[in-house]
Amino acid sequence: MIKRILLFAVSCFVSLAAFAQLTITGTISNEQDQPLGGASVVADHTLLGAITNDDGTFRLKNLPPGQYTLFVTFMGYQKVEYQLDLKAPATIRIKMKPAEILADEVTIHGSRAGLKDPVSFTNLSKADLRAENQIRDIPFLLINTPSVVATSDGGTGVGYSALRIRGTDPSRINVTIDGVPFNDPESHEVYWVDIPDIASSTENIQIQRGVGSSTQGAAAFGANINFQTLALNPKPNAEINTSAGSFNTWKTSLSAGTGLISDHFSMDVRLSKIHSDGFIDRAYTNLASAYISAGYFSGKNIFKATFFTGKERTYQAWGGVPSELLQTQRTFNPYTYKDEVDDYLQNNARLHWSGQIRPKLDFSVALHYTGGSGYYEQYRVGEALADYLINPVIIGADTITESTLVRRKWLNNRFYGGVYSVNYHSKGIAVTAGGGLNQYTGDHYGRVIWSEFASNAGPDYEYYLNRGIKNDANQFVKVNYQLARKLGLYADMQYRFVNYRISGIDDDLSTITQNHNYHFLNPKFGLTYNISDIQKAFLSYSIAHREPTRSNFIDAPNHQNVRPEILRDLEAGYQIDQRPVSANFTLYWMDYTDQLILTGQINDVGAPIMVNIPSSFRAGLESAVRINPIKSIQLEMNLTLSRNKIRNFTEYVDDWDTGIQKVADLGRTDLAFSPEIITGGRLTWLILDDLRFMLDSRYVGRQYIDNTSDLNRSLDPYWINNISFSWTIKPPKIQELMLFVQVNNLLNHQYETNGWVYSYYYEGQRNKMDGYFPQAGINFMGGLRVRL
């Protein structure tokens, strides 16, 4: 039966392909007949598109006869809409005119990898994001790109969520928004819950895997993610988005833009509100955000002010579900106190000035400020009053030294500075120089807001306070030089200086005052070889350094000295674009010295405790393939096969009977949360010009949650399938009306995407405390988008 079904499917595929006989070939150039390599060509009402080669040529295959509109875009030039009545194979030539207004892309030019850079990357356009962006957070919008694994504390993809790329955790993934560094300087992470619905204000995203090219912020140890927020839309516009689904999950978003006023001014505004009760008990999330951008545009300059803010209130679910309850109480949450919440407000403001000094020379300068304030609240039973600097309470003959209390742990922080880039590009050479100077100040303090026995503790009694101050300066120069007609050389050097000071006492009342200075050189070199018009290969070698995070310092077991990490990244890639098939393959070898790895424990805010190990590596094959057999069908597939090892791991396990740790030399073991296989695919079918069907599949191999390669402390492999339908129509006086229905985890698979474990010996037996993070079973979402 299965063979018959397969034969039938293949015969249908061949039959459909037989009708796809016509091809459009063409050349894109400027008015001086100079070819424009890297221009985008998309055929309307199809899933077909192409990027022009260095000689400006492109090819679109498998088109049936009919009327087509080709949309052609290239940075710095006016968009072209080319009408074509295709009756036979056609060859066309399109000349593009320079844009009258400088393109917004100048603001992120210095932080992006180009087509000639020896870097493995994926670009997601605004259209790609709109197809995905219903409610879930950024990690789940990127999940169909190579080597990505996403997780969510609440199990629905809304609220606290994170992603790993090539097994690398979020603290090693560098994020910029409009060329401005966005990672928290102390934790090195981006908390996506603090910028809810940022995707609705995003023009495009580039994901660079591996060390990538130099950019603002900390060095990348697994990936760079670069956002560009909304570019200029010259026409007035408005949009309403509303979605709702399982677990009382819903989103409402309103946005509007003035278009270009008096040929120079523009403003865009967005307001969003998101809620989910969560799959895990009480793991609700309330999110609100706003985005405002105002700009002045001229032929040579852009002045732009951007402000975006996010407010989150999330019930804590970072404890996870104990392994013994996974089969019986998958939604278990140990917290029951009604205000066991995380509550945080973050404001982000930027001023950008981008300009063109001459046709081949442009620049971008930005000033930025991020301010955040918030707390997480906890109900604690039987706490020692001495741990809060509260005096014992004497009642008659009794001395009370313990109490039930409610505490809040606060963070008030400020991150500000300036960044710049200067870009020169001419025939045969492109040079980018950039840098930044930034400072961060974070105040961490705890307050007891209620105690059954208070003694000397008044209202909002403060029991600890410490401050972190971080100064970060960096400078980089990138050169892309065409050595020969087919051979290009890439060189990139970044220097970073980091000064990090911590002063005061921590929540355990220990003194954590310390001072650290680092000087890092991060060189990168590479070669790109154009085998033919449709084939390219590259080879690159990069070195990156990364300083420890705040928690690495203060949570270090036995006050160990924590060292910075070093990564040496060797990558070789091959790309082919022979439409209807395009593919790229990357081999990588990421070799670490002093990589910080998990001990298996977590601290009191759910963050992992880590220690240095001398030697470890990640090696793998990464691939992505796209096939357009006919104009209405697109198949995308990606696969990562990898080995992720600690060369010689020594395990230390607490022995509660003796008070001395037991030591075991385990030899070569697997790095935690580094699956050996990650694969995914998407089938997109335009059933009609306005009716779209998508089927997504994702398989993630086994992940160990500590570094012992023990199956008892691992996440089982999982395979997830999602389907969606969207129907887009254009009623009178409405630019677009889109209805969608989405079914996630179609087969109702039970799986976990994250976990933690603490092992110990007691009465001669090895025991563990752990927490796993189950994700929702089959769930539904539906919504409406109206563009005016």
Measured CA distances, 231 to 190, 324, 356 (Å): 23, 50, 17
Q: What is the 3-state secondary structure (H, E, C) of 413-457?
A: EEEEEEEEEEEEEECCEEEEEEEEEEEEEEEEEEEEEEECCCCCC
CB proximity list for 539: less than 8 A, separation 6 or greater: 118, 526, 527, 571, 572, 573
The pLDDT, as a whole number, for residue 603 is 57
On average, the pLDDT of the chain sits at 90
SS3 at position 550:
helix
Q: What is the DSSP letter of 194?
A: G
Gap between the Cα atoms of 590 and 644, Å rounded = 9
Question: Looking up tokens 């570019």, which residue turns up?
Answer: 231
Beta bridge partners of 345: 311, 373
- Which tokens in the block code for residue 438? 């930034």
**Which pLDDT band, with edges at 50, 70 and 90, does 177 fall under?**
very high
Gap between the Cα atoms of 675 and 32, Å rounded = 51
The pLDDT, as a whole number, for residue 5 is 39
pLDDT digits over 704-735, tens only? 999 999 999 999 999 999 999 999 998 888 88
Q: Which of 568 and 610 is assigned the larger pLDDT?
A: 568
pLDDT digits over 210-219, tens only? 998 888 777 6
The pLDDT, as a whole number, for residue 20 is 47
CB proximity list for 383: less than 8 A, separation 6 or greater: 402, 403, 404, 405
Please say whether the beta carbons of 666 and 649 come within 8 A: yes
The pLDDT, as a whole number, for residue 133 is 67
CB proximity list for 83: less than 8 A, separation 6 or greater: 67, 68, 69
pLDDT digits over 299-342, tens only? 789 999 999 999 999 999 999 999 999 999 999 999 999 999 99
Chain mean position to CA 144: 12
Gap between the Cα atoms of 701 and 719, Å rounded = 9
Q: Which of 293 and 48 is assigned the larger pLDDT?
A: 293
User: 200 pLDDT exceeds 90?
Assistant: yes
Measured CA distances, 774 to 194, 322, 325 (Å): 23, 11, 11
The pLDDT, as a whole number, for residue 604 is 54
SS3 at position 678:
strand
Torsion sign, CA atoms 203, 206, 207, 213:
negative
- Which tokens in the block code for residue 653? 């396990």
pLDDT digits over 643-663, tens only? 999 999 988 888 999 988 888
CB proximity list for 189: less than 8 A, separation 6 or greater: 162, 170, 171, 183
Please say whether the beta carbons of 438 and 497 come within 8 A: no
The pLDDT, as a whole number, for residue 607 is 58
Gap between the Cα atoms of 516 and 723, Å rounded = 50
The pLDDT, as a whole number, for residue 3 is 46
pLDDT digits over 319-329, tens only? 999 999 999 99
The pLDDT, as a whole number, for residue 691 is 93
Write down the pTM of the prediction.
0.91
pLDDT digits over 738-770, tens only? 999 999 999 999 999 999 998 999 999 999 999
User: 446 pLDDT exceeds 50?
Assistant: yes
Q: Phi, psi at residue 657, to the nearest 5°?
A: -75, -35
Beta bridge partners of 701: none
Gap between the Cα atoms of 103 and 101, Å rounded = 6
The pLDDT, as a whole number, for residue 535 is 92
Q: Phi, psi at residue 747, to the nearest 5°?
A: -95, 10
What whole-number percentage of the chain has pLDDT above 90? 69
What whole-number percentage of the chain has pLDDT above 70? 95
Please say whether the beta carbons of 291 and 196 come within 8 A: no
pLDDT digits over 595-621, tens only? 998 766 555 555 567 888 999 999 999
Q: Phi, psi at residue 17, to the nearest 5°?
A: -65, -25
Query: Count of CB atoms within 10 A of residue 485's CB?
Result: 9
* Average pLDDT over every residue of 146-175: 94
SS3 at position 7:
helix
Gap between the Cα atoms of 302 and 293, Å rounded = 12
The pLDDT, as a whole number, for residue 19 is 46
User: 438 pLDDT exceeds 80?
Assistant: yes
- Which tokens in the block code for residue 288? 């609100």
The pLDDT, as a whole number, for residue 593 is 96
**Which pLDDT band, with edges at 50, 70 and 90, does 61 fall under?**
confident
Question: Looking up tokens 């205000």, which residue turns up?
Answer: 339
> Quick one: 492 exposed, middle or buried, by C-beta within 10 A (0-12, 13-18, 19+)?
buried
User: 234 pLDDT exceeds 60?
Assistant: yes
The pLDDT, as a whole number, for residue 13 is 42
Q: Which of 630 and 152 is assigned the larger pLDDT?
A: 152
CB proximity list for 334: less than 8 A, separation 6 or greater: 319
SS3 at position 235:
coil
- Which tokens in the block code for residue 778? 């089959």
User: 693 pLDDT exceeds 70?
Assistant: yes
**Which pLDDT band, with edges at 50, 70 and 90, does 233 fall under?**
confident
The pLDDT, as a whole number, for residue 606 is 52
**Which pLDDT band, with edges at 50, 70 and 90, does 7 fall under?**
very low
The pLDDT, as a whole number, for residue 445 is 97
- Ranking 103-112, 367-376, 505-514 by mean pLDDT, the lowest is 103-112
Torsion sign, CA atoms 162, 166, 171, 172:
negative
Chain mean position to CA 373: 23
* Average pLDDT over every residue of 103-122: 80
| Amino acid found at 6 | L
> Quick one: 349 exposed, middle or buried, by C-beta within 10 A (0-12, 13-18, 19+)?
middle
Beta bridge partners of 635: 627, 683
